[in-house]
Chains A and B, each alone.
Chain A
Amino acid sequence: MTTLADPITRTRRPAATNLIQKVALCLAVLLAGAAILAPLIAPFDPLDQSLIARLRPPLGFDRYSPGHFAGTDELGRDVFSRGLYGLRLTLALAFCGAVIGLAIGGLLGLVAGLRPGWAEDGIMALVDMQIAIPFTLVALLVLALLGSSLTVLIFVLGIAGWEQYARIVRAEVRRLASQPFIEAARAAGGDTAYIARRHLLPNIVSPLVVQFTLALSNIVILESTLSFLGLGVQPPTPSLGSMVGLGRDYMPTAPWIVLIPAGLIVLLTFTVQILGDWLRDRADVRLRDR
């Protein structure tokens, strides 16, 4: 960025904030890389049990079992490898969920924005309802009834945040619809689908990217919470939330079983939120001087 191009952000953004964002960006790359490359990096199979090496502490403590940097859990499984695979699954689930939410919410928001009248009223009533009903409860109900398969979990995570996308897209479409260039496109003979694809979508990408990032961190929290409660990812498949949930009983003697996945979750949500906030500040001119 040149010094002249963006005087507002240049003057209002202290150096410390930039440093935090750079660190967050590096962490994001690191976490995503670790998740994608988990099968290559992990020193052990996350499901391999070893009765001799149960509940061994991490590197640097007494009774350390060579190779298990982060210690082992109650079944002798390598906590570091499980953490990597858990991170992989958590990120994959969050990503799928956020994409589904984006698809449902984006489409409904687009329809609501383009078709004022009963379609818009109906969709916005659904949005209001989704906001009024605490979603964790709906998730509990659905998971208990349909069982906690990964498919159901992805579906639940997908509908967790669709209403935010719908609201954003509708508002943006409504704002854009009155702009001269849309009118011009219409006058030139473009039909609604063409205008939506060619002129509206490119203009709402930036708020959608922001919302996608913020939703990602919310979905990570929701997924790990459900898995922690025993309603999400089922054992023996490692997920960060279920590692904390199952390791809880061993916490007094073997806190690393819990602290390592918990630390990874917090690192993940922090990183994603910092990036999301940063993107939002960049996208929203009003917030630049705050």
Chain B
Amino acid sequence: MAAYLLRILVKMVITLFAILTITFIATRLSGNPIDTFLGEGLTAEGRATLIAYFQLDRSLWHQYLAFLRAAASGDFGLSFVERRPVTEVVAHRLWPSAQLLLTSVGLTLLVSIPLGVLAAVYRKSWIGSVVMVVAFAGYAVPAFILAIVMILVFSYTLNWLPVVGNGTAAHFIMPTIALSGVLIAALTRFTRNAMLDVLGQEYIRTARAKGLSEFWVVMRHGFGNASITVISVIGLQIASLAAAGSVVVESIFSWPGIGQLLVNAAIVRDYPVLQFGVITVAVAVVLINAATDIAYALADPRIRLAQS
């Protein structure tokens, strides 16, 4: 168990390091950032001052070390647009994004786990087919189209739901559904497949042979074991899908979260905000992955009880 945890920790640190490196390389890919971002209206003297200030005259390796050092002390620079530290800009956006993520993951779990179990148990009847068609549709319809169609129907036509912002509970309905669509599709499929794998095992036959009720067999012996696989998927797939989806959903519904911030920063090329925003989301995904790995270890007795 200790060795397993250590491995998760090492993997996490390496990935975090890679994220910092990738964002550093990405921002340097476009040549001298000063030319790209502050190009016009800058005197030669002012340009030289800025280049010296940002240490762009030093070697790339030196810049990289300086970047890592600054990052370690929490200094990621100022937003070009807002002239505030990017850490501050991003921090304001964390809670709305987290709220949307929580409602979406909640909805996803509520819908897709029962659906996945149903689809596995009734795989040969029409119930299974209907569930799989729904899951399939969720996968094929991009989040932005789901969102646009919902806005057209529920806001513009029926006038039921508000479109912009996150003021009331009603504001949560459409963004949550739009973000959950693809998550529900993914998790329903995984739950179904995990259940099918488990239900084909010998111990399920044993449980039935003991005379347990079918409900108990499916829930305790079936889902109890399938949930281990499901947990690992929630971390790996859901976190990544949700991060990608929130970028789209937040910018459609003007949700004041990190996703909307990132899109706006990408459009106006506010690259310190973009850089730190990407780092923040990537770190969140890595942390969720690590947390899932640990939850996985705790749920799986083969790992939990392993002697290291």
Chain A residues at the B interface, C-beta cutoff of 8 Å: 125, 128-129, 131-138, 140-146, 217, 221, 224-225, 228-231, 241, 244-245, 248, 251-252, 255, 258-259, 262, 265-266, 269-270, 273-274, 277, 290
13 A-B contact pairs sorted by A residue (CB < 8 Å)? A128-B15, A131-B236, A132-B289, A137-B262, A137-B281, A140-B278, A142-B29, A145-B27, A224-B144, A225-B143, A248-B148, A269-B142, A273-B136
Contact mask B132-146 → A, CB, 8 Å, 1/0? 000011011111110
In the complex, are the beta carbons of A244 and B145 less than 8 A apart? yes
Could you say which residues of chain B place their CB within 8 Å of the CB of A224? 142, 144
* Complex CA–CA separation, A146 to B36 (angstroms): 9
* Complex CA–CA separation, A274 to B289 (angstroms): 30
Could you say which residues of chain B place their CB within 8 Å of the CB of A241? 144
In the complex, are the beta carbons of A137 and B140 less than 8 A apart? no
Contact mask B236-248 → A, CB, 8 Å, 1/0? 1001110110011
In the complex, are the beta carbons of B140 and A141 less than 8 A apart? no
**Closest CB of chain A to B23's CB: distance in Å?**
7
Is residue B267 within 8 Å, beta carbon to beta carbon, of the partner chain?
yes
Given contacts A225-B142, A229-B251, contact A141 B266 (CB under 8 A): yes
In the complex, are the beta carbons of A144 and B265 less than 8 A apart? yes
In the complex, are the beta carbons of A137 and B278 less than 8 A apart? yes
Q: Which stretch, B68-76, B104-112, B170-178, B269-277, touches the partner chain A?
A: B269-277
Most buried by A among B143, B152, B265, B275: B152
Could you say which residues of chain A place their CB within 8 Å of the CB of B263? 140, 229, 231
In the complex, are the beta carbons of B266 and A255 less than 8 A apart? no
Classify the secondary structure of A's interface with B. helix
* Complex CA–CA separation, A274 to B18 (angstroms): 36
Contacts A142-B26, A255-B152 supplied; 14 other A-B pairs, CB < 8 Å: A128-B15, A131-B236, A134-B241, A136-B243, A137-B281, A141-B27, A144-B266, A144-B271, A145-B26, A145-B29, A145-B271, A265-B145, A269-B140, A290-B193
> CB < 8 Å: which of A134, A230, A259 contacts B240?
A134
Chain B residues at the A interface, C-beta cutoff of 8 Å: 11, 14-15, 18-19, 22-23, 26-27, 29-30, 36, 123, 136-137, 139-145, 148-149, 151-152, 156, 193, 196, 236, 239-241, 243-244, 247-248, 251, 262-263, 265-267, 269, 271, 274-275, 278, 281-282, 285-286, 289
* Complex CA–CA separation, A137 to B140 (angstroms): 21
**Closest CB of chain A to B93's CB: distance in Å?**
14
Could you say which residues of chain B place their CB within 8 Å of the CB of A125? 14
**Closest CB of chain A to B137's CB: distance in Å?**
8
* Complex CA–CA separation, A146 to B23 (angstroms): 13
Could you say which residues of chain A place their CB within 8 Å of the CB of B143? 225
Could you say which residues of chain B place their CB within 8 Å of the CB of A228? 144, 248
Most buried by A among B23, B26, B142, B243: B142
Q: Who on chain A is nearest to B21 by CB?
A: A129
> CB < 8 Å: which of A143, A145, A225, A273 contacts B248?
A225
* Complex CA–CA separation, A274 to B133 (angstroms): 11
Most buried by A among B144, B239, B241: B144
**Closest CB of chain B to A129's CB: distance in Å?**
5
In the complex, are the beta carbons of B15 and A262 less than 8 A apart? no
